[in-house]
A = this chain, B = another copy of it.
Amino acid sequence: MSQPEKSRASNSKRRTRIQQENESRILEAALETFSANGFRGTTIDQIADAAGMSKPNILYYFRNKEEMHRVLLDQLLDTWLDPLRNINASGDPLNEILQYVQRKLEISRKHPRESRLFANEVLQGAPRIEDVIKGTLKDLVDEKAAIIQGWIDEGKIADCDPHHLIFSIWATTQHYADFDVQICAVLGRKKASNRFDTASEFLGKLFANGLRV
């Protein structure tokens, strides 16, 4: 009776101190490298270097390159959907939406690497997260879109397609993480230094104005 082949990371036994430390060091290094170079552009050696350990040791904790990527995407998706979940049907409509914009922008500011990892994945056709996108994500978006449609019907915000409204919030906020290099280059050193604050102000105005009845 041999054990099914499992990496340490996916083992359900209680994890030791060393396991926990190393797994998080590896995931941190993998996030850094994957988000900067994409999946194919990342080598296990790079991750090993970034994590300060040997390649075989990386593969002692994760069965293969794919598994590190999968774990990162899984972790990511929770954080990703959280702000959307927070939209509250009984709150003030405009305020709920503006809060959502600001929360998403805050994620771009604080977690740009996760944003780029996600962008890379979707750009390549989302092969590894197709299920989540078509399932959990779609259901959640449909649910919130219905809430927004309700607000529109009550005349609380301007008439527009709720799905596209959500897309436009994703687009504008994630842009500040995914295209940061371009943003900084175009703004120049000085204006770029507080780009997230000026972006926050701009997006607040745009959506507040754009959704006025």
Contact = CB atoms under 8 A, between A and B. Distances in A.
B40 A161 contact: no
A167 B171 CA distance: 10
Interface in A157-213: 158-161, 163-165, 167-168, 170-172, 174-176, 178-179, 181-183, 185-188, 191, 198-199, 201-203, 205-207, 209-212
A181 B119 CA distance: 11
Interface in A55-105: none
A134 interface: yes
A16 interface: no
A203 B207 CA distance: 12
A189 B69 CA distance: 29
A125 B36 contact: yes
Interface in A98-149: 116, 119-120, 122-126, 130, 133-134, 137-138, 141-142
A4 interface: no
A24 interface: no
Interface of A: 36-41, 116, 119-120, 122-126, 130, 133-134, 137-138, 141-142, 158-161, 163-165, 167-168, 170-172, 174-176, 178-179, 181-183, 185-188, 191, 198-199, 201-203, 205-207, 209-212
Given A38-B38, A134-B185, A168-B172, 16 more contacts: A40-B41, A41-B124, A119-B179, A120-B120, A123-B179, A126-B182, A126-B185, A133-B185, A138-B188, A163-B191, A168-B203, A171-B174, A171-B179, A172-B172, A209-B210, A212-B212
